[in-house]
Amino acid sequence: MAVSSSSTVTDLISTVHHDIIEAHILTRLDGPTLASVSCASSHLHELASNDILWSNICRSTWPSVSRAISDASRSFFSDVYSVLDTAASVSDLDRPFPELVSAVDIHYRGKLILSRVVKTETTTAWYQSSPLRIDMVDPKDTVETPIKRGRRTEDTCRDLEQHLTLSWVVIDPIGKRAANLSSHRPVSVQRNWISGEIEAKFATVVESASPDETVECGITVVTCGEEEMHVKEVSLKVEKMEGTHLNGKDSLVILRSVIEGKRGNGRRRETESKKRHDEFMEKKRERKEKKMKTDLVFDILTVAFGILGFGSFVGFCLWSR
């Protein structure tokens, strides 16, 4: 009965002229829905494989990538929409990777407030040896936004948690692969009590077989302003468990492992990213506490041996008399 019903629907679809389906139906669908529709029948699969459809979806979903994609838009959408499941082991480290393209889009309540592309040279000595930091906003500039600061900091943070979204797409121009490093919505929003600025953090945790090698690609959005808020910083760093930041050379290996890694369903991006971030922060806290205890024991032993040595020296001096 189910097979017959499915067959009937397929027959009905086949009677609709393909121009109508392409121009008035498929163009109204988002990426995940279009991908699902393409699996319904061979006829729809053929129509939904039109690269123009996928190119338009990519450009409307991530406006900043408009100049970064030329063909294979469906493959690009699959790369960027999906969420990292397992990082790949980068085997071909000698393959040229002279440039890293970062395309960033920030929306607030569905309205685009920032869309930029930055190209980073990866072969310079400065890039390879310095801690990685990619900035989207010049330190001297700020970006105006429609975000209103609430009377209470808690209200502002809650508003940003719910309505601020970000995508940070890293692109390998030579390998023609890409990945989205963002959690879509912030994994944390808090006020910097020194500067008074509001900091929203987006993140993707890159897990490894060894806990010591697990890192977090963290994106920080800093907003300022008393009434209407401005974006003054949008930056990417790669942080290790102990709190240090990777240099450009090591970060590039991590980013390549993300780009080439196994992907999962993008619908899980927010919940999965938040879960992994919380686990990362908990392990980071435990490691810090363990180190503090170890340092405390070492300090106590150092003082004890110092007192013992001093006492022995005094005793020896008194005995010598």
pLDDT tens string 233-273: 999 999 998 889 999 999 999 999 889 888 888 888 999 99
- Measured distance CA(194)–CA(191) in Å, rounded: 9
Distance set, CA 11 to CA 4, 141, 149 (Å): 10, 58, 55
Q: Helices 51-61 and 73-81 sit at what angle, rounded to 10 degrees?
A: 40
**Which is it for strands 83-86 and 198-206: parallel, antiparallel or unpaired?**
unpaired
Q: Return the top range by mean pLDDT from 13-27, 101-115, 223-237, 259-273.
A: 101-115
Look up residue 170 and give its DSSP letter: E
Compute the Cα dihedral for 232, 238, 241, 246 and give only its sign. Answer: negative
Q: How far apart are the first and last CA of the chain?
A: 109
Domain ranges for the chain: 2-78, 86-283
Closest CA to 254 of 100, 118, 90: 90
State yes or no: pLDDT of 159 exceeds 70. yes
**Which is it for strands 228-240 and 134-135: parallel, antiparallel or unpaired?**
antiparallel
pLDDT tens string 78-102: 999 998 887 777 666 667 789 999 9
One-character DSSP codes across 108-149: ETTEEEEEEEEEEESSSHHHHHSBP-EESS-TT--EEEEEEP
* Long-range contacts from 113-120, C-beta under 8 angstroms, 24+ separation: 113/143, 113/145, 113/146, 113/147, 113/231, 114/143, 114/231, 114/234, 115/63, 115/64, 116/64, 117/64, 117/65, 117/67, 117/68
Q: Return the top range by mean pLDDT from 11-15, 183-187, 211-215, 304-308.
A: 183-187
One-character DSSP codes across 283-315: HHHHHHHHHHHHHHHHHHHHHHHHHHHHHHHHH
The encoded tokens of residue 117 equal: 């592309």
Q: Do the Cβ atoms of 248 and 129 come closer than 8 Å?
A: yes
pLDDT (average), residues 265-287: 90
pLDDT at 233: 95
